[in-house]
Every structure is written in C-alpha cells, then in structure tokens.
C-alpha cells in the first residue's frame, strides 16, 4: 500500500472530506456535522403511570383529585379506546420499540428468562428504542423512574450493563431498575451506579424523580437551547406500595367510606356525561370475589376504605409532581412545542387480593391477612411501615366500566387512559376533544417517528431490525392526514393480546377473549365474543349467537401469535421468581400438581439461572447493595451464612441484611451479642446468642432450616451453636429490596437499630451456602399434606 493509499484510508475511517497537505497552509479543514433534528423539532415527553386504571383520573371519571393531569386533558386530547398489554414490562417494551412485546423478548416481567425468544427479560437488540433513534437524530434523551427492562440478575454493580437505560439510548438515567420500590426508602440508580436517596426530611421518591427530570432538562437547555429533548418519566406510582406524604393521606380520610359500589356507579355516571364510553355501554356485575359493600363486616369495610385512601393520596401526590414538571417546561418557554403523552402501563392491580393487604408481599407468599388483625395498624397504611395494596373491589372501581384487572386480557387489564398535549399542533378549538379510535401502546413509537420525520433503519448498530408493527396515530391529530381526525375510522384493524395464558384478539370492532386458569389445558379455555365497538365493557357475550365469527377470530389469534412470536404459550408467573421450591408451593396453592409433577419440573432445567440451587456465594465488603435476583436464592430454602470478622471490643453493626422494615432478615452484632432478626411482615422473630462475640478474629453465622412447623434459625460463633429461634412461616419471596453486606441500606429490617448500622469492626468476608433439600424434607411433607386435601 502506498503512502497515498494509506492517507485515503485514514480519511475514510475518520469521515474526513477536507484536504490534507504537507502543511496546514496547503490543507483544508473539515468538521463533522452533528445530527440535529431541525429548529422546529418538538420536545417529546412520555409520562407513564403504573397500575392506574381507566377511571382513576379525574378527567376519566374519578373523584380523586388530579387537577394537573386534568389540565393537560383540557388543553389536549383524551383517547377513549386506547390499549396496552396487561403487565408493566411488556407495555414498556412495546411503547419504546413500536413492536409487540413477545416479538422483542418481553412476554412477561423482565425478572424472567424462560429460554425462549419471547421471554428474554430485556428488549431485543433487533428492536431499537425510541431513545436510540432520537439520540441519533440529535435529541438529548433522559429516562427517569422505573426501568424494569433488564434481567434483574444483570442489575447489580457486576453488570453486564448492556440493557441498562444508558445502553439503550438514554443519555441520563435516574430511577430504579426493578418493578417496584419503597417510596420513602427506594433503591436508586444514577446513570450506571447505585446511590442512596437524599437524606432529607419528608423525602418521597416521586418528588425526587421530578426534581431530577427538571434538572436534566435544565442541564440540556441551559447549555444547548437549540437541542430538543426526549424525556421518559415512568413513575413508581400507582404501583404498590401505595405510600404518600401524611398531608395527602389526611386529605382523603373518610372520603371512600360509602364503598366501591357507590364509587363505581358515580364514576360510571361521570364517564357517560363526559362521553368517554358509547351510550350503549353497561356497567358489568362485580367481578367474582368482589363482595357487595354493604354486606361486608365493618372491619373489612374500614380496612378497604383506608387502603383506597392511600391509593388516592398516592395518585393525588403524583399529580402534583406532574404539575411541577409541566410548570418547569413552561418556565423554559418550551411547553407550546412539547409533545406530551400521558398513559398507564396496564389496568388497576388485583395483587392486593380479595380483602387488601398491609403487606403486598403476603399476596406473593400465598398468605391472607385478617382485617381484624389489621385494625391495630390502620394508621400505618400509606406510610413507611406498610407495603399496602387495595382489595379487588377498589381495583374494579378503578377499571370502571370494565371487567377484570391487570394481568387479564379483558378490558379491565388492557384499556387505559391516554392524554396527548401539544399546544403547537392542537389549536384552541380542538382542545379538550375526545378520540375514540382503537389504538395500542405499540402505536406510540411510530406516531413519534411520523411526527418527527424519523425513518427506522433496517439495520441498527449491526443488528437487523424487526419491522415496526405499530400504526401511527398522526391522522387523529388536528391537521393530520385524515380529513377529520376526530371522527376518522381507526387505522388499527387488528391487535392480539396475551398475558400468562390469558388471550384476546381485536379486529374491526369485535373482540374475542378468554380468561385462562393457570395449569389448565388451553383447549379448555372458554372464548367469549363481544362487539366492543358498542359494547365497550364486554357485557353481552355473543359467542353462542355468532359461533362462526368467534371461530374466525380465534383462528386469527393463532395466526397473529405465530407471526409475532407469542408461542409457546406459558402460564407461569410467580413461580418464576424463585425456582423449583416456589414453583412447587405455587402449584400446591393452586391445587394443580402432585409431587411427581413438581419433581419433574425441578429436574427439567426450566429455571435457568447463574445462581444454581447449591451455589456458594462469597462477598467481600465494601460493596454496593445487591438486587434481589442477583443475590443468594435463599427464599424458601435452607442455607448457611458465615461472616469472618476481626472485631475490636464493643464493635457492632450489621453483617448481612436483606429486605426492609416491612419484611426481611438481618444478622448483626449488638452489645457483644450476635442477633438474627427474621422480620416476617412486621412480626419479628429474634435469636440472641447466649455467648458473647469475642474480640479479635472469629467466624459468626446462622444456620437457617425449614421444619414441619415452619422454620428455625440457629446462631453459631466459631462453630458453637449458641442461640435459636423458630417461626411459623418461611417466606418464599422476602422483599423487593435486596441484600447489603456490612450495613443495612434503606429502612432497617430490625427494630433494634437505625439504618445503616454499619459494622464498626473489620468484616473480611461473608459466605452464604445454599443447601439443597431432598424431596423428603419438610417442604415435601407440607406439600403432600396440602395435596391430600385438594
């Protein structure tokens, strides 16, 4: 290769189109042109609420106070026939990619990777996100709040980081990576590292998130006022735990004492007055398991009212923070040219159970909570000492006028509010208008691309791209391609639904839908047929009247399923969090499987994880807190923990803790004694060593075992057993807050100390050994006993 050839190669690699001569006098400089979307390009803001039903916002019928969201609706457009998937991670994946959730690897929660292309626990690299494409167009891109689009096993400080927000197109990130977090003591990630929340009086996560969203906008616009931004704000609200500042809780005290029947009737009447539902729409009966309010015991009504108050306070407080965000955009002079979408990720949640819970994790542990027992703790609801979720009756009210809930493919799970606000595009005469076209969350990305003139590439960063399958909604906006966007027929003709075996298909105003029972044969599912163009609440089942139409829709569902990667159908959910032991407990609780089936499931390798059942973990502090699914899989299993310490006299503190003040476990030294606190949803079972922990180097620990009566923990100092405690129940899922080594991050697991209670001696290492139980252990004995009663 000649010198000239090498110089030409150098210029091509560096994209240089000037002239390089022997000296600068004989050369011509050239500067690469940074992408810029144009002077008139709008900012784009997506505000994604969590578990907020169709009727929860004031502008969609509720009596809960949401004045700032209502103002966006009054100055924008409300979509009355907008749909999502029935669960959080899948909706987020569809929203950010413009594809169906199965196609991009997000059949269910990001916490799972089942070994099939439809459930990888992250968005496929073959589906570029809105942030990736807009950043390449010159946008500043910010993600704030809930991510839940990375396998949680990959969400620790060890990574890998390739599916974290800043690796999927966002310049900045501030929020939490998992599906939920405590609003007063959240687990926070800033860009690519974990941080503690600010230590400020009255701290609440939603305020913190909006503070950082405003800060990101100010950082960008102060330095580059010409550069538009894309902000994706995904609040933790209104997902459990329902937690709000005291003044918001006080505002709703007694407001819902008339009950969910009265509220549902009132909210439905408001929806009809607002024109949010077709005139023929009926209010369906209560869902199975929802009781008539006036027929319930007083204690049940008092608990349910207080739980609904906490939800309303949480939503009201969130609305105030959204108002602060909009005000900040206004002060920047950017509101007129900012396109805002506000929506929810799915319908209201059924995860509070029939009666509601102070501790939602009881739902995931198959435990019921007595309203009578909750009476003494009513004032804890909504504050830091509760992890509350409301009962089914209030969830159905939030989904008015629809049936069923989050997770289900009936309208209650998938039909949500959507508000579009854009003063520069929506003239005064059209503001406050309604749009009734059927649309789906996978339509938002193509709408943004169409409005901004972005062309989706066939290959992105070396990955061949899946086709964007959503339908642009641009025609529904004033000045769109339809002659009358408000009345134009929908261009979204077909959309399938599937979530954990629940299925549905929309086509040309008709919908076929089935509610699946986990473990049942799919061919036994009863399909229903509704003309949802007029019967929006799915009250008139036409399956027997039009069997031919139903059969054609069911066949269309299978065709769509094959095209979009839905198969294989998989109805597992909670059991995927914890492997075979939790799977067995799940099956036993449902009465679906005998021991032989559970054993076969255990041996099948279904639960692939970098954490094998008998793994030995070694932790060497100092180190960051660990996400639950990246930590030891101790849930429901026997395990040993040993801490190697070098301790000066009187040194104390936490050696290992996981969870928070609502549920968890902690091993710590205090007053020269080794202490183990098993916090089972606020009931504390403590073991305190009979022996003093010696000064100097020693190994201290705990042996955790299941028993026929529940479980027991034995304290060990230098090999000698020195204390024990039993407990009636072993938590299968402990908390969404993961372990910390050498301190207790967040709120304290034990009431014996204040966080972080860091160990003041030298903690050399912590060893955790998971013990593999045999099939004849207490778990199997309990399963046999339970199965004998089915």
Q: Looking at the annotation, which residues are catalytic? A: 88, 148
d(CA 679, CA 658): 10
Nearest CA-CA partner of 750 in 642, 665, 693, 628: 665
Burial class (CB in 10 A: 0-12, 13-18, 19+), 174: buried
Nearest CA-CA partner of 696 in 743, 759, 642, 649: 649
Q: Which residues contact 241 (CB under 8 A, 6 or more apart)?
A: 180, 182, 183, 360, 386, 387, 388, 389, 662
Q: Which two tokens stand for residue 250?
A: 């006080």
Nearest CA-CA partner of 702 in 650, 646, 743, 655: 655
Q: What angle do CA 542, 544, 550 make, to 5 degrees?
A: 70
Task: Spell out the long-range contacts of 269-275 with Cβ–Cβ below 8 A and sequence spacing 24 or more.
Answer: 270/61, 270/62, 270/63, 271/55, 271/60, 271/61, 271/400, 271/401, 274/59, 274/60, 274/61, 275/80, 275/434
Nearest CA-CA partner of 325 in 416, 206, 423: 206
Per-residue b or e along 472-501, where b marks 16 or more CB atoms closer than 10 Å to that residue's CB: bbbbbbbebebeebbeeebbbebbbbbbbb
Cis peptide before 401 (omega within 30 of 0): yes
Could you tell me where the beta strands, DSSP code E, fall in 478-629?
A: 494-499, 502-507, 510-514, 528-530, 616-619
How many helices (H) and strands (E) would you count in the chain? 17, 28
d(CA 118, CA 109): 11
Given the structure tokens 């949500």, which residue do they identify?
Answer: 416
Q: How far is CA 680 from CA 97, 160, 179, 367, in A?
A: 40, 33, 21, 11
C-alpha torsion sign, points 254, 260, 261, 262: positive
- Taking phi over 0 as left and psi of -120 to 50 as alpha, with beta for the rest, 57 belongs to beta
Q: How far is CA 528 from CA 15, 282, 491, 552, 559, in A?
A: 60, 17, 24, 13, 18
Q: Which two tokens stand for residue 733?
A: 């899922």
d(CA 407, CA 709): 34
Burial class (CB in 10 A: 0-12, 13-18, 19+), 223: exposed
Which residue(s) pair with 510 in the sheet? 507
Q: How far is CA 612 from CA 109, 161, 584, 632, 642, in A?
A: 21, 22, 17, 10, 19
Residue 373: CB atoms within 10 A of its CB come to 11
Q: Which two tokens stand for residue 232?
A: 């994706």
Q: Which two tokens stand for residue 19?
A: 């002239």
Measured in degrees and rounded to the nearest 5, phi and psi for residue 748 equal -75, 135
Distance of CA 6 to the CA centre of its chain: 53
d(CA 517, CA 526): 10
DSSP, residue by residue, 296-356: S-HHHHHHHHHHHHHHHHHHHHHHHHHHHHHHHHHHTT-STTEEEEEEESSS---TTTTT-
What is the three-class DSSP state of 377?
A: helix
C-alpha torsion sign, points 132, 136, 139, 142: positive
Residue 237 near residue 182, CB atoms below 8 Å = no
């Amino acid at each position: 290769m000649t010198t000239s050839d090498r110089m030409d190669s150098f210029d091509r690699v560096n994209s240089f189109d000037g002239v390089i001569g022997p000296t600068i006098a004989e050369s011509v400089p050239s500067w690469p042109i940074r992408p810029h979307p144009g002077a008139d390009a709008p900012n784009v803001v997506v505000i994604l609420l969590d578990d907020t039903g169709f009727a929860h916002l004031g502008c969609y019928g509720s009596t809960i106070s949401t004045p700032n969201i209502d103002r966006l609706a009054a100055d924008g457009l409300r979509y009355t026939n907008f749909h999502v998937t029935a669960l959080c991670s899948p909706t987020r994946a569809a929203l950010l990619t413009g594809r169906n959730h199965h196609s991009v690897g997000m059949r269910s929660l990001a916490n799972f990777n089942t070994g099939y292309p439809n459930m990888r626990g992250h968005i496929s690299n073959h589906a570029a996100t809105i942030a990736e494409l807009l950043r390449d167009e010159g946008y500043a891109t910010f993600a704030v709040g809930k991510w839940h689009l990375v396998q949680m096993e990959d969400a620790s400080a060890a990574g890998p980081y390739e599916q974290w927000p800043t690796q999927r197109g966002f310049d900045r990130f501030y929020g939490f990576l998992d599906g939920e977090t405590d609003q007063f003591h959240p687990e926070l990630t800033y860009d690519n590292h974990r941080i503690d929340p600010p230590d400020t009086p009255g701290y609440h996560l939603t305020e913190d998130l909006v503070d950082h969203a405003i800060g990101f906008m100010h950082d960008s616009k102060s330095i580059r006022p010409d550069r538009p931004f894309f902000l994706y704000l995904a609040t933790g609200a209104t997902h459990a735990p329902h937690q709000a500042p005291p003044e918001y809780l006080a505002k709703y005290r007694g407001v819902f004492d008339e009950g969910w029947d009265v509220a549902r009737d009132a909210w439905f009447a408001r929806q009809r007055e607002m024109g949010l539902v077709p005139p023929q729409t009926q209010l369906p009966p209560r869902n199975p398991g929802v009781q008539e309010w006036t027929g319930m015991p007083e204690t049940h009504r008092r608990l349910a009212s207080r739980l609904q108050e906490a939800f309303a306070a949480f939503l009201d407080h969130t609305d105030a923070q959204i108002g602060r965000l909009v005000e900040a955009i206004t002060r920047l002079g950017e509101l007129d040219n900012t396109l805002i979408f506000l929506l929810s990720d799915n319908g209201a949640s059924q995860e509070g159970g029939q009666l509601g819970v102070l501790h939602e994790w009881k739902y995931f542990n198959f435990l019921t909570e007595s309203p009578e027992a909750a009476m003494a703790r009513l004032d804890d609801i909504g504050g830091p000492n509760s992890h509350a979720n409301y009962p089914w009756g209030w969830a159905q009210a939030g989904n008015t006028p629809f049936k069923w809930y989050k997770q289900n493919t009936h309208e209650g799970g998938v039909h949500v509010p959507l508000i579009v606000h854009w003063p520069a595009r929506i003239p005064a005469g059209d503001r406050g208008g309604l749009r009734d076209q059927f649309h789906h969350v996978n339509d938002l990305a193509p709408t943004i691309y169409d409005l901004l003139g972005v062309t989706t590439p066939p290959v992105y960063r070396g990955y061949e791209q899946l086709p964007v399958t959503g339908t642009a909604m641009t025609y529904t906006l004033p000045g769109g391609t339809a002659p009358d966007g408000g009345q134009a027929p929908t261009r979204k003709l077909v959309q399938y639904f599937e979530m954990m075996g629940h299925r549905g298909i929309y086509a040309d105003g008709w919908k076929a839908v089935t509610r699946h029972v986990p473990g049942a044969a799919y061919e036994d599912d009863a399909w229903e047929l509704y003309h949802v163009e007029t019967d929006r609440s799915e009250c008139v089942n036409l399956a027997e009247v039009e069997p031919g139409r139903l059969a054609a829709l069911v066949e269309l569902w299978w065709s769509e399923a094959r095209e979009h990667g839905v198969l294989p159908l998989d109805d597992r959910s909670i059991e995927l969090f914890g492997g075979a032991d939790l799977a067995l407990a799940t099956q036993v609780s449902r009465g679906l499987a005998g021991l032989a089936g559970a054993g076969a499931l255990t041996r099948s390798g279904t639960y692939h994880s970098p954490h094998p059942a008998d793994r030995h973990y070694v932790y060497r502090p100092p180190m960051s807190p660990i996400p639950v699914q990246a930590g030891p899989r101790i849930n429901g299993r026997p395990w040993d923990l040993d801490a190697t310490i070098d301790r000066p006299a009187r040194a104390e503190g936490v050696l290992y803790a996981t969870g928070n003040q609502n549920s968890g476990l902690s091993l710590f030294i205090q007053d020269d004694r080794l202490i183990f606190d098993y916090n089972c949803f606020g009931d504390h079972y403590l073991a305190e060593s009979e022996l003093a922990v010696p000064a100097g180097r020693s190994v201290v620990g705990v042996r955790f075992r299941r028993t026929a009566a529940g479980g027991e923990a034995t304290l060990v100092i230098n090999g000698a057993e020195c204390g024990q405690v039993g407990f009636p129940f072993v938590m299968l899922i402990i908390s969404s807050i993961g372990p910390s080594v050498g301190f207790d991050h967040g709120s304290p697991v034990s009431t014996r100390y204040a966080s972080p209670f860091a160990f003041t001696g030298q903690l050399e290492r912590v060893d955790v050994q998971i013990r593999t139980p045999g099939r004849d252990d207490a778990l199997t004995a309990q399963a046999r006993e339970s199965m004998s009663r089915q």
